[in-house]
A = this chain, B = another copy of it.
Amino acid sequence: MFPKLDPLLHSELRLAVMSVLAGVEEADFTYLKKQTGATSGNLSVQIDKLTAAGYITVEKGFKGKMPRTACRITPAGAEAFRNYVDALKTYLSAGE
């Protein structure tokens, strides 16, 4: 009936992060923070979880002398995102 929702994606901030990453080649920490409006701490934690799940990859380097954390969605992450969207539609259809 109602499919189970991937708990990793059923989280406001993680979903926002994935939503941004689904639309761009790569996004760094600062950009994600700006787009999502999240606090640094929260964003850091959620990025870790998405990384641990294999949904995104994180590449740490420097832009000039400043640290920079670049994030990309993985194929697995993109698929999970699509599946989540599909699953959610089951829940939302009544509200159209």
Where the two chains meet, the residues of A that have a C-beta atom closer than 8 Å to any C-beta of B are 1-2, 4-5, 10, 12, 15-16, 18-20, 22-23, 35-37, 81-82, 84-85, 88, 90-96
Contacts and interface: CB of A to CB of B under 8 A. Distances in A.
How many copies altogether?
A: 2
A93 B15 CA distance: 11
Contacts of A82: 95
Interface secondary structure of A, over-half rule: helix
Nearest to A11: B10
B19 A91 contact: yes
Given A85-B95, A94-B22, A5 B12 contact: yes
A2 to B, nearest CB: 5
A72 B94 CA distance: 14
A35 B1 CA distance: 7
6 contacts: A1-B36, A2-B36, A16-B91, A22-B94, A22-B95, A88-B88
